[in-house]
Amino acid sequence: MRYFLFGVIFSILSIGFNYAQTKAPEVFGPVPNENQMRWQEMEYYAFVHFSVNTYTDMAWGKGDEDPKIFNPTELDCRQWARICKDAGMKGIIITAKHHSGFCLWPSEYTDYSVKNIPWRDGKGDVVREMADACKEYGLKLGIYLSPWDRNHPDYGKPEYITYFRNQLTELLTNYGPIFEVWFDGANGGSGYYGGANETRTIDRTTYYEWSNTYSLIRKLQPNIVIWNDGGDRGDLRWVGTEAGLVGETNWSLLNAKGEVEWGMLHWGLETGDSWVPAEVNTSIRPEWFYHQNEDLKVKTLPQLMETYYHSIGRNGTLLLNFPIIPNGLIHENDEKVALELAKTVKEAFTVNLAEKAKAEASNVRGNSKEFGVEKAIDGKKDTYWATDDNVKTASLTIDFGKPTTFNRFMVQEYIRLGQRVKAFVIEAFVDGNWKELAKATTIGYKRILRFPSVQATQLRFTITDSKSSLVISNIGIYSASQILDAPFIVRNQAGEIIITPVDAESLVFYTLDGSAPTPKSKKYTSPVQTQGKVEVRAIAFDHVSGKSSPECHEKFDLPRKDWKIVGVDDEKANALFDGNISTAWHQGKDKKMPVDLVIDLGNELKICGFRYYPYQNMWEPPGVITNYQFYVSADNVEWKLLDQGEFSNIKNNPVWQIKKFSPEKARYFKLRALRNTAGNDYIGYAEVDVFTTE
């Protein structure tokens, strides 16, 4: 009897001991709330930009546009929703009001809206049509409402905050569930302001009283997430660029209070006290609103795949913008490449080679099946492989059982328990030896690594550094097809066309007459001398697979071989004309605003516009022009002002700035910088060019 009781007691103690060893890991650090988890699992969703400036060819509306120009004769939000659904997106955020102040819904609080225009006899409501289309296609609806309003007379005054919240209430009350509300960081500047036509500045940290606004939002939409680049910390963060990428190291953490530097936006903050994950926002074209001259500048499939890997593949979500064209539809070029992206992603990540493989790990929490290695390859989001509390480094080996070819590795942490991994490495077992394929830092919700295709019998995933014990939810191993990228085309100052493939082994074929290039077109072997205006189209071609890249299409005006910068004796200044946007020339250190760039064209031309590409280098002051004047002269003595204005959103989206105007004969032109993004006197130019009618 004594031995029997001893055995029972020992069994009870053993059960208790095993339970203590196999209980779930404790939460480590900040974790996402349920709203943030739902948002993170969406991964990919759309922006649509549409307003009065769609009809004025402007990046931003000034606030004085006649609302009657808004006339989308073929508006079809169901087309938007269908394309987004087919593209694999989970929702759409609509720009209900951009900086112009024009409202796409019949707001009770302003006349500057769709209710006062001929379209739909003043009974139109784009937001309503968008909400209905999202519901029909099973998409979530998001709202963009610009805090800055260049039309409203009270902007900058306390009264405007009431107006702003009234409009928020309309949008968050009348259109069903809203998954995300989006507040732009552009706040204050020049505007119409009810006819005042002046510049108004505000303190974005205090003016909007964001804490009270957030309380209103959460009361009206309890399941919402807030994106805010203009004030108090919201639920999500900007990544510091609109180029479509977040840092290779990406912590989903920030501090709840204090200044946020660019590096914190881009890489997160390992020691942050709040869960603030990254949303990568970028446009499918160079700019956010529609410009006809960008119809041939839609991002290619390889470019969008790079964006995919640099956003979703780096622990972020992807918010991809469609600029709506004036008739109210998504352009067919945008639709085509968005659907190509969906097809390519599906093909690359449908077959997970890890699912039928065997796996073993160097450590399993309590040696329990509940947290066993098989939980990392079962494809379920709520199960995970875990290690013991004191184990912060471990390896997991996947055995395919036979030589297997792969080139992609996907891994997810169970972030409900926190983001933990700081560094890991991937190796393949090839010919009896372990070969390193790739290494990286953070994981978070999802991390995807790319490497050259390898044939191996095993893959080893080793976590080399972590903040706590490991909780790995999913692992995927894939073999993705090669995608050729379009070549680059430039024309240098001498007028030579230079075409460079991304893949050095690819062949390049091109045309100069505007026709579509094929492998039967002229083969590029060396720079091609050209005269006058020219239209160049080129493709890269892989002779092994027989596949062609997307097309690169460039139009060039007259050669700049006779151009000279007046009053400058500096060979480096020729960087303005070399056709290479990666080189630049600076001026202004010894001057004060305004800073003038005067160009001698060498002979008289009829000028009808100009374009400027800002120098962009995060490691030194780029000197990006925001406000400008453009003059012409026949003799460099008498000058005529042809154009002036702003390069809207150039700080966050430093792409080609194109301005057109009525033709004027001149031998000289002067680009005058009135202000730059840094508020100093430093100006950098990557490229400057003019358009002519010659």
Are the C-beta atoms of 537 and 484 separated by less than 8 Å? Answer: no
Is 90 exceeded by the pLDDT of residue 387? Answer: yes
Give the Cα-Cα-Cα angle 591, 597, 598 (nearest 5 degrees). 125
Of 613, 619, 628, 489, the C-alpha closest to 550 is: 489
Is 70 exceeded by the pLDDT of residue 417? Answer: yes
Same domain, 400 and 533: no
**3-state secondary structure (DSSP) of residue 559:** coil
Q: Does residue 22 lie within any of the structural domains? A: no
**pLDDT reported for residue 593:** 87
Tell me the Cα Rg of the chain.
Answer: 28
Of 421, 451, 478, the last residue of a domain is: 478
Residue 207: CA atoms inside 13 Å, Cβ hemisphere, count?
Answer: 19
Same domain, 444 and 530: no
Please state, in angstroms and as integers, the Cα–Cα distance from residue 188 to each residue in 152, 229, 230, 641, 675, following that order: 12, 14, 11, 27, 15
For the chain, report the end-to-end CA distance as a whole number of angstroms: 110
**pLDDT reported for residue 12:** 43
Supply the CATH number for residue 617's domain. Answer: 2.60.120.260
pLDDT band at 15 (very low <50, low <70, confident <90, very high): very low
The rounded percent of the chain whose pLDDT value lies above 70 is 96
Same domain, 254 and 372: no
Per-position DSSP letters for 601-617, written without gaps between them: EEEEEEEEEEEEEE---
Residue owning tokens 């840092």? 247
Mean pLDDT of the 324-348 span: 97
Q: What's the CA gap between 488 and 511, in Å, rounded?
A: 14
Beta carbons within 10 angstroms of residue 631's beta carbon: 20
Q: What's the CA gap between 362 and 384, in Å, rounded?
A: 15
Q: Does residue 381 lie within any of the structural domains? A: yes
Q: Does residue 10 lie within any of the structural domains? A: no
Beta carbons within 10 angstroms of residue 598's beta carbon: 18
Q: What is the pLDDT of residues 425-467, one digit of tens each?
A: 999 999 999 999 999 999 999 999 999 999 999 999 999 999 9
Are the C-beta atoms of 492 and 578 separated by less than 8 Å? Answer: yes
Q: Does residue 533 lie within any of the structural domains? A: yes
Of 297, 326, 346, the last residue of a domain is: 346
Same domain, 658 and 587: yes
- Which stretch of DSSP H or E encloses residue 81? helix 77-86
Cα 242 → chain centroid: 5
166: its two tokens:
């009234």
Are the C-beta atoms of 242 and 308 separated by less than 8 Å? Answer: no
Is 90 exceeded by the pLDDT of residue 7? Answer: no
Mean pLDDT of the 106-121 span: 98
Q: Does residue 599 lie within any of the structural domains? A: yes
Are the C-beta atoms of 101 and 149 separated by less than 8 Å? Answer: yes
- Secondary structure in 3-state letters for 290-308: CCHHHCCCCCCHHHHHHHH
Strands 585-587 and 552-556 turn out to be unpaired
Residue owning tokens 């990406």? 250
Q: Does residue 9 lie within any of the structural domains? A: no
**pLDDT reported for residue 204:** 86
Residue 634 main-chain phi, psi, to 5 deg: -90, -25
434-466 burial, b at 16+ Cβ within 10 Å, e below that, comes to eeebeebbbbbbbbbbeeeebebbbbbbbbeeb
Beta strand residue intervals within 512-621, DSSP E = 522-523, 528-529, 534-542, 547-548, 552-556, 564-565, 585-587, 595-614
Are the C-beta atoms of 507 and 547 separated by less than 8 Å? Answer: no
Residue 5 main-chain phi, psi, to 5 deg: -65, -40
Q: What's the CA gap between 31 and 361, in Å, rounded?
A: 26
Q: What's the CA gap between 29 and 78, in Å, rounded?
A: 43
Please state, in angstroms and as integers, the Cα–Cα distance from residue 248 to each residue in 10, 255, 312, following that order: 51, 20, 11
Same domain, 164 and 307: yes
Strands 140-145 and 91-97 turn out to be parallel
Same domain, 233 and 127: yes
pLDDT band at 570 (very low <50, low <70, confident <90, very high): confident
pLDDT band at 494 (very low <50, low <70, confident <90, very high): very high
Supply the CATH number for residue 523's domain. Answer: 2.60.40
**pLDDT reported for residue 21:** 52
Same domain, 213 and 302: yes
Are the C-beta atoms of 666 and 602 separated by less than 8 Å? Answer: no
Same domain, 55 and 203: yes
- Please state at what angle helix 332-349 crosses helix 77-86, rounded to 10 degrees: 20
- Under DSSP, the state recorded for 577 is G
Same domain, 569 and 623: yes
Q: What's the CA gap between 22 and 369, in Å, rounded?
A: 9
**pLDDT reported for residue 11:** 45
**pLDDT reported for residue 680:** 86
Q: Does residue 181 lie within any of the structural domains? A: yes
Give the Cα-Cα-Cα angle 146, 147, 148 (nearest 5 degrees). 90
Domain count, the chain: 4
Choice among 191-200, 213-222, 568-577, 635-644 with the minimum mean pLDDT:
568-577
Give the Cα-Cα-Cα angle 140, 144, 148 (nearest 5 degrees). 170
Mean pLDDT of the 351-377 span: 96
**pLDDT reported for residue 590:** 65
Q: What's the CA gap between 676 and 624, in Å, rounded?
A: 5
**pLDDT reported for residue 14:** 45
**pLDDT reported for residue 671:** 97
Supply the CATH number for residue 170's domain. Answer: 3.20.20.80
Q: What's the CA gap between 157 and 534, in Å, rounded?
A: 52
**pLDDT reported for residue 620:** 61
Mean pLDDT of the 123-142 span: 98
pTM of the model: 0.90
Is 80 exceeded by the pLDDT of residue 281? Answer: yes
Please state, in angstroms and as integers, the Cα–Cα distance from residue 437 to each residue in 28, 133, 429, 681, following that order: 30, 45, 10, 47
Same domain, 538 and 413: no
Are the C-beta atoms of 21 and 366 separated by less than 8 Å? Answer: yes
Residue 479: CA atoms inside 13 Å, Cβ hemisphere, count?
Answer: 9
Choice among 448-457, 552-561, 569-578 with the minimum mean pLDDT:
569-578
Q: What's the CA gap between 451 and 440, in Å, rounded?
A: 12
Q: What's the CA gap between 36 and 42, in Å, rounded?
A: 10
Domain of residue 225 covers 44-346
Per-position DSSP letters for 346-374, written without gaps between them: HHHHS--TTTTSEEEES--GGG-GGG-GG
Question: Where on the phi/psi map is residue 404: left (φ > 0), alpha (ψ -120 to 50), or beta?
Answer: beta
Same domain, 66 and 205: yes
Q: Which residues pair with 478 in a beta bridge?
A: 408
Same domain, 199 and 175: yes
Q: What is the pLDDT of residues 620-675, one digit of tens each?
A: 667 899 999 999 999 999 999 999 999 999 988 899 999 999 999 999 999 999 99
Computed over every residue of the chain, the mean pLDDT equals 93
Q: Which one has a higher pLDDT value, 13 or 545?
A: 545
Is 60 exceeded by the pLDDT of residue 303? Answer: yes
Is 60 exceeded by the pLDDT of residue 8? Answer: no
Of 453, 456, 375, 437, the C-alpha closest to 412 is: 375
Q: What's the CA gap between 215 and 217, in Å, rounded?
A: 5
Q: Does residue 6 lie within any of the structural domains? A: no
Please state, in angstroms and as integers, the Cα–Cα distance from residue 50 to each residue in 70, 113, 412, 622, 682, following that order: 9, 13, 36, 30, 34
Of 451, 478, 505, the last residue of a domain is: 478
Are the C-beta atoms of 424 and 35 separated by less than 8 Å? Answer: no
